[in-house]
Amino acid sequence: MKKGEHVLLLGNGKRYFAKVEEGDLHTDVGVFKLDSLMELQCGDTISSHLGFELRIYSPRLPDFFNHLKRSGAPISPKDIGMIISHIGLGKNDVVLDAGTGSGIMAIYLGYVAKRVVTYEVREEFLEIANSNIELVGLENVELRFGDLINEIRSIDEIFDAVILDMHQSAQVIPLVPKVLKPGGYVVVFTPFLEQAKEVRNAINEAGFEETITLECTQREISFSERGTRPSTTRVGYTGFITFTRMP
């Protein structure tokens, strides 16, 4: 493993997220020497001073998701998955994202798309997003400070998709044709139906096509000796997602 890399340490019901560096990882099963990871590879095991062994894995994006800083309630991976699949996001696409927040949407987009440009109006959120993007190691996500409602008029680039997760999304819709290629998608995430209705009205006035608003729910299934049923510990609702296309 290389110094600076992140690793996932798993075994016997234990799970730790660590960085290959000098120093120690103190856990309830003992102390692990992190610099010893530089002499090991994925699939190898590392032992604590108590002799507890964990296997080394390279973390994938869902593993990073659990360790990213939050600036609020981030968009859920289930919603991100539906967005990416519905618009058919590909490796040659360039995406405009607004309402960066902690940068989780931009990070997932960056794993698939060629390039992502994301706008955030709050500086403290931009700092959190920047640290998260650096943690994951993406270089194709460009963070910009500013309100897209004002900044979109000066953008001279054309995008394959525009993703909006902001309170003023309905106000942005009429300005989107300036930066979106024909046939490109606009996606708007809204936590309330009232906002979704405002977005739909703006879309109708702007003359977009193939508009649909969807809700993606997710339920974990609980297995026990008493029986099998949906879990009651997690709520599957997060928000509404509106898709539409540039004619």
CATH code at position 36: 3.10.330.20
- The angle, 0 to 180 degrees and rounded to 10, between the axes of the packed helices 104-112 and 123-136 is 40
How many C-beta neighbours within 10 Å does residue 112 have? Answer: 14
Amino acid at residue number 173: I
* pTM (2 d.p.): 0.87
Separation CA 81–CA 90 (nearest Å): 13
CA 48 to chain centre: 33
pLDDT score recorded for residue 230: 85
Structural domain including 165 reads: 64-245
Token look-up 């593993």 returns 63
The C-alpha torsion from 120 through 125 and 131 to 136, rounded to 10°, is: -60
Output the CA–CA distances (angstroms, integers) from residue 10 to 24, 35, 43, 145, in the order listed. Answer: 17, 18, 10, 38
Do 55 and 70 sit in the same domain of this protein?
no
Give me the residues paired with residue 145 across strands. 120
Do 170 and 209 sit in the same domain of this protein?
yes
Domains identified in the chain, total number = 2
Domain's final residue, options 59, 77, 102:
59
How many C-beta neighbours within 10 Å does residue 213 have? Answer: 17
pLDDT score recorded for residue 81: 95
Shortest CA distance to 190 belongs to which of 210, 164, 208, 216? 164
Do 33 and 111 sit in the same domain of this protein?
no
Q: What is the pLDDT along the chain (247 residues), one digit of tens a residue?
A: 888 889 999 998 899 999 899 899 999 999 999 999 999 999 999 999 999 999 999 999 988 888 888 887 778 899 999 999 999 999 999 999 999 999 999 999 999 999 999 999 999 999 999 999 999 999 999 999 999 999 999 999 999 999 999 999 999 999 999 999 999 999 999 999 999 999 999 999 999 999 999 999 888 899 999 999 888 776 677 899 999 999 9
Domain's final residue, options 14, 44, 59:
59
pLDDT score recorded for residue 235: 63
Radius of gyration for the alpha carbons in the chain, expressed in angstroms and rounded: 21
- Examine residue 1 and state whether it is found in any structural domain, yes or no: no
Q: DSSP state, 101? A: T
Amino acid at residue number 61: L
